[in-house]
Chains A and B, each alone.
Chain A
Amino acid sequence: MAVVETRKLSKVFKRGNVGAVVDVDLQTREGEFLVLLGPSGSGKTTLLRMIAGLEEPTSGEILIGGRVVNNLTPRERRIAMVFQSYALYPHLTVYNNIVFPLKAQGVDKAKRKTQAEWAASLLGIQHLFARKPRELSGGERQRVALARAIVREPSVFLLDEPLSNLDAKLRASAREEIEQFQKRIGTTAIYVTHDQVEAMAMGDRVVVMSQGAVRQIGTPAEVYDDPADTFVATFLGSPPMNILEADGALVGFRPEHFLPTGVAERAGAHVSYPFRISHSEYLGAEMILYGTIAEGVFKDRKVISRVPSTHGAGLTDSSLHTFSVAEGDLKFFDPQSGKRTATRRVAS
């Protein structure tokens, strides 16, 4: 088991261009499932590929198990990688796909067989040994890719958006499978995704990235409830956090905290606003209300609310209600840098 560490890791693709990865410092914890989360272009995949050894850093260091690995080939780093497309060798059977890394290491035939069977049994795919990748379903291919990765007993697992090629229905069960698999074998895993739901569900910790830089590293609860800046605050959570400007400050509150007065259960001081609903979406368990603040310092600003359907009575289009937010649920940000600032008072 090893800890992966990067120190001031940067990658610039073309001189003079803005960096794809900028000064990233991170450190995994043993056995954790670390998620690199960000929109496309945020640098998360480049970061992963540098850790794998498929991309050369422009500056900075990568350490695995305390050893600087910058000059080591992927093979020498003892990592395993699951690609977005799974990258199964199409001309080889499932069995030969799985033993390929062992063959490359010169492992003898008998040992290869036992390893392959062990890896396959972990994922329940022994019955697929004779098949070729093109005969497998998406979920089966993922399992083969995982088996091929685990068969070498690597020190780190790297996964590059393996769920994005699956259709939505399959994604949830495939996601669960990866989570359980990682817990069972206990190897440190670094997982790249742009899907924040995936990140929150799977990650022990989440690294939120944007434009090559790390915005925040924390548990799902930390990045969700305690965002470090406006990017993190709005990237996580769907619909995104409402962010409004007044008196030179940015204040944000999540749609699920913006509720009809009386519904909000949290004790303590609340701030209230008249909310005119312009249209709503009924999603079954909850309703999403889009509207504007009718009066006060935030007049005419668009806000979104997320109300459990059980409290949806009377919340129709064009109606006006008083909604409120607990003061504890207000987050403040600096308008220039977007960074989180201390709590302030807010006028109504």
Chain B
Amino acid sequence: MFMPAILYIVALVGVPFVLAFFYAVGDVKVGSVGYHFVGLHNFISVLKNPTFRLALRNSFIFTISSQVLVLIGANILALALKDAFPGRRFLRFLILLPWVAPVSIGSIGWKWILDSLYSVISWVMVRAHLVKEYEAPMWLGEPKLAMMSVILVHTWHMLPFATVILLAGLTAIPKDIPEAAAVDGAGYFRTLFQITIPMMLPIINVAVLFGTIFTFTDMTVIYILTRGGPYDTTQVIPTLAFFAGILGSDLAEGAAISIFMVPLLVIATYLVLRSAHRAEVT
């Protein structure tokens, strides 16, 4: 009863996955007919490319920064949402919107908010006399600001998902554990850092690993906000693969670039499995 599903997945995930490796070690271009094995040639030329090295570095900066922000933010928010309060449902609706709305839609919304001329953030900063009127920051046009902007937007998009997962972990803690800690004399922060968070560690792991995988392999936010610019300063591996492989029609190069995501995927997946196994045992 599950063979059709498995066959579908093998055909549309398994086969392309293997094909990606074949392309990376071949010389396929869109429209090319033959196939020649070129070994590690593509990988070497990719590694020699300074744009690629920049994209690799950016991928790590982008992923680590947004994940750290998401982790801290989601923890704080989950703690604030744990107990029932009036309006909780409505608040939850609001908090979920960044995750639920198509990420491309949210990103284009942010593009408007971060517009070089009409940004509402700039307007507020000018009125607050933090910047002069015609020196408003080019949020998506200056390298450092652009990176900050894409990190911010991606964090904004991922926060609800992480919050929901952490909240589930938080509510899974039996009620009498924090009570025992209170009786034992632990204050709020001791209970939080020595009891609550350690008990949530398995699920925090899951949230972080999923978040890392989705962030490292995401191209949408950056594509819409900056197209990888200015001057490739927000280029990451997936966007580079897209520009080379799809827009540039060099399938071999694109495949080689995207394969650099595989090591991280493998490590993260292994850690997810190990963590899920641990969560079962506690």
Contacts and interface: CB of A to CB of B under 8 A. Distances in A.
Contact of A91 (B181, B190, B282): B282
A101 B195 contact: no
A83 B282 contact: no
Determine the main DSSP class of B at the interface with A. Answer: helix
A52 interface: yes
B115 to A, nearest CB: 48
A52 B181 CA distance: 12
Interface in A117-160: 134, 148, 152
A90 B182 CA distance: 16
Contact of A87 (B174, B187, B281, B282): B174
Contacts of A85: 174, 176
Contacts of A34: none
A101 B186 CA distance: 7
Interface string A30-66: 0000000000000000000000111000000000000
A228 interface: no
A152 B282 CA distance: 27
B186 A100 contact: yes
B185 interface: yes
B179 A83 contact: yes
A335 interface: no
Contacts of B195: 89
Nearest to A158: B183
Nearest to B190: A104
A90 B282 contact: yes
A309 to B, nearest CB: 44
* Most B Cβ at <10 Å: residue of A54, A79, A85, A87: A87
Nearest to A55: B179
Nearest to A84: B176
Interface in A85-127: 85, 87, 89-91, 100-101, 104-105
A101 to B, nearest CB: 4
A81 interface: yes
A148 B180 CA distance: 10
A73 interface: yes
A73 B182 contact: yes
A32 to B, nearest CB: 21
B83 interface: no
B204 to A, nearest CB: 13
Contact of B180 (A53, A87, A105, A152): A87
Contacts of A217: none
Contact of B183 (A79, A89, A90): A79
Given A91-B199, A134-B281, A134-B282, A148 B176 contact: no
Contacts of A8: none
A108 to B, nearest CB: 15
A7 interface: no
A279 interface: no
A89 B179 contact: no
Contacts, number: 60
A80 B181 CA distance: 11
A75 B182 contact: yes
B185 A75 contact: yes
Nearest to A106: B185
Contacts of B177: 87, 89
B176 A87 contact: yes
Contacts of B201: 91
B16 interface: no
A41 B14 CA distance: 58
A282 to B, nearest CB: 42
B186 A87 contact: no
A104 B184 contact: yes
Nearest to A151: B184
B39 interface: no
A240 interface: no
* Most A Cβ at <10 Å: residue of B186, B190, B281: B186
A148 B282 contact: no
A89 B181 CA distance: 9
A74 B282 contact: no
A100 B191 CA distance: 10
A75 B282 contact: no
Contacts of A134: 281-282
A91 B182 contact: no
A142 to B, nearest CB: 14
Contacts of B180: 81, 83, 87, 89
B109 interface: no
Interface string B164-184: 000000000010110111111
Nearest to B186: A104
A134 B280 CA distance: 12
B174 A75 contact: no
B184 to A, nearest CB: 4
A104 B201 CA distance: 22
Contacts of B185: 74-75, 101, 104-105, 152
Nearest to A148: B184
Contacts of A104: 181, 184-187, 190
A75 B184 contact: yes
A87 B191 CA distance: 14
Interface string B12-49: 00000000000000000000000000000000000000
A47 to B, nearest CB: 16
Nearest to B184: A101
* Most A Cβ at <10 Å: residue of B183, B195, B281: B183
8 contacts: A74-B185, A75-B185, A83-B176, A87-B174, A89-B177, A90-B199, A91-B199, A104-B187
Q: Which 6 A-B pairs have the closest CB atoms?
A: A75-B185, A101-B184, A87-B180, A104-B185, A87-B176, A83-B176
Given A75-B182, A75-B183, 9 more contacts: A73-B182, A79-B183, A80-B183, A81-B183, A83-B176, A85-B176, A87-B174, A91-B199, A91-B282
